[in-house]
Structure formats: C-alpha cells, structure tokens
Structure 1
Amino acid sequence: MKRQVNRCACAALAVMLGGAALTGCSSDKPAGSSASAAASAARSKASAVASAAGSAAASTLASAEAAAAAALTNVKGGLNAQADVTLGTVATDSDGRKEVQVNVTNHDSKPRRYTILINFHDPSGNLADVIVLDVPETSAGGTARATARSNRNLTGTVTAEVRRALRY
C-alpha cells in the first residue's frame, strides 16, 4: 500500500512539474515583457511543486531541474548570460534553508532583466534543490544583487551552481 501511495504521489508530482519551475527569491515588480511574463508564469506554479518535493528522491529533483530548464526555453528573446552571473558562498538562513548571494553584471548597453536557474548540490554532488530566480531590471553597465534560497531545509555542506542564465 505504501509503495502504491508513493507511486501516486510521484505521478502527481510529475504532472505538476509539466511546466513548473522551482523558485527562490525574486523581485515583486510586475512583469513588463513577454519574456518576464513567461518567467513569472514558470515561477507561479513553483510553491506547490516545492512543497510536494520536500523530501523527493534524486530522480524527482532531476525531473524538477529539467522542468525548470524547459520553462526557461519559453523566455522569448532571452540571450545566454551565464558569464554575467556569479555566486557567493552558500550559507544557512535562520529558517534552516540554504541561501546564496547572486551578483549580476549587465554588460549590455541597455537595461536588462535576468532569469537564472540555480542548482543546489549536496556534499556528494547530488542535486538537492532547484530554483528559478528573477533579477529585476539592471541598468546598462550596472550590477544587481539578489539572494537565492532553497525551497526546503538542506543539511550538510551544500554548493550552488548557475545552471543557466538568460538576459532579456
């Protein structure tokens, strides 16, 4: 019976991940472009997915990562901006979740927004959590800072990586 319940829970999670992305911290500013709207739509489904994936297995997290990456493909006009993004050191916040400072430098001559896919890995290098972070409009040649937080408590030494970053 327990195995059947787990299968149903996994199936429900897979359906929910069908266009969802896990989320971290982002701006509360309204989306101003179709690219920003696509990123916002991806994040809007995230809370339920993050809750359901609280103690998910690595394969489910890999599926979440794939769904988050797929959501980024819906960002129209997004250019690869991974070189614009650096991460600080992962720390634990007061709620027990892992967080990392995200620094963005806009090398373009126009103000741009960023949507960033960040993976958190456990000490063995296994995927532990996935988030999508929106960084508000950053002025031309300017820098912005944001904080990415894991969706759940992660234990041990956790590392973070920028899996993908789009500028639009």
Structure 2
Amino acid sequence: MYRAWTRTLPVAAALAVLAVGTAGCSGDTTPSEVASKAASAVQSVGAGLDAAAADAKKKLDSVKDGVDAKTDVRLGTPAKDADGRSTVPVTVSNTADGAKSFAVQVDFRDPGGNLLDTVVMTVSDVAAGATGQGTARSTRALSGDVAASVGTALRY
C-alpha cells in the first residue's frame, strides 16, 4: 500500500499560458507590457518551484527516525496513464532487520532536465529482507518525454 503527497509544479502550464498570452496580443498591448507580463510569469514559476521544494522537504522532514535509503529504491520506466499523467513503478528493498516503511520523493523532469513535478509517496510495512512496490503518479498531465528520478528516500 502507498500514500502519495503531491505538489504541482506548474512549469509547463505557466509556459503554455505565457506562450498563448504572447501569441494572442492585440494591438492594444505594447511589447513592453508583454515583456513585463512574461517576466512576472517567470518569477511566479520560480516561486512555485521554491514552494514545492519546501513542501517536499517539510513532508520528508516529518518522517521520524528516517535513514537515507536512496540506494534501496529502484524506478521503472515512466509511462502515461489514461488521464495523461506520468507514472513510474517504484520498488523499495528493505535491508533492515524488521518491517519498515519508505518515504520516496520522485521528481519528474523534461528532456532538458527541468523539474516538471514532484511527488512524495510512501510504501508502508515492507517486511525485513523483502521488497515493496508502489506507483508514483504526477499530479497533472505532463506533455512530451518525461524522465523520473529519486530525489530523496527515507526508510523508517
């Protein structure tokens, strides 16, 4: 069983809105107004990424007695589900002497390495010496090729 904590990182959406807004300029909008709106949108996206990173850190920091388990986590091949959201199988290996749970931050990135979304999920009650599985799912549809990586993993 797994539980997902998620926070959307609206990079692609903001860029799409920015592109539409720029392409749809009427004669009443000056180039400097468009540039100003674009700068504000980019600043807003940066603030959203900072907030998402802080939110993920807060969730991971709430794990009591967690130890680094990044080397015990394997991600499968990213795919798209019926809703267009990116998914990736997550497998954790419990090398501890007793049953443990795992909190795993999965980052979804575009081919350029830009962060698109991040999900913090748990795989609960994995027996000693066993593996547990879950699926990380982006919080929204992500377009194009998407890669997934483990940001942080804690065993507790």
TM-score relative to the length of structure 1 = 0.68
Deviations 1:65-116 (A, max 9, x none): 2321232112110111111101001111111000000011101111000111
In structure 1, the gaps of 5 or more residues are 1-24, 28-39
Shift of 1:138: 0.2
Provide the C-alpha distance between the structure 1 equivalents of 2:103 and 2:146, rounded to a whole number of angstroms. Answer: 22
Provide the C-alpha distance between the structure 2 equivalents of 1:157 and 1:76, rounded to a whole number of angstroms. Answer: 35
Confirm or deny: 8 A CA contact 2:10 2:116 kept in the other structure.
no
Shift of 1:53: 4.7
- Residue in structure 1 matching 2:136, options 148, 157, 163: 148
Distance 1:63 1:155, change over 3 A: same
- CA RMSD across the alignment: 2.2
Specify the alignment match of 2:23 in structure 1: none
Q: Is residue 2:127 matched to residue 1:139?
A: yes
Question: Structure 1 residues 135-144 or 59-68, which shifts more?
Answer: 59-68
Percent identical across equivalent pairs?
40
Question: Structure 1 residues 136-145 or 55-64, which shifts more?
Answer: 55-64
Specify the alignment match of 2:118 in structure 1: 130
Specify the alignment match of 2:78 in structure 1: 90
Aligned counterparts, 1:69-108, within 5 A: 69-108=57-96
Confirm or deny: 8 A CA contact 1:88 1:100 kept in the other structure.
yes
Specify the alignment match of 1:37 in structure 2: none
Deviations 1:50-76 (A, max 9, x none): 4x9583535412430232123211211
AA at the equivalent of 2:147: T
Q: Which runs of 4+ in 1 moved over 4 A?
A: none
Specify the alignment match of 1:162 in structure 2: 150
- Which structure dedicates a bigger proportion of its chain to strand? 2
Provide the C-alpha distance between the structure 1 equivalents of 2:49 and 2:148, rounded to a whole number of angstroms. Answer: 15
Specify the alignment match of 2:55 in structure 1: 67
In structure 2, the gaps of 5 or more residues are 15-44
AA at the equivalent of 2:64: K
Provide the C-alpha distance between the structure 2 equivalents of 1:66 and 1:99, rounded to a whole number of angstroms. Answer: 23
Query: Aligned residue pairs: how many?
Result: 125
TM-score relative to the length of structure 2 = 0.72
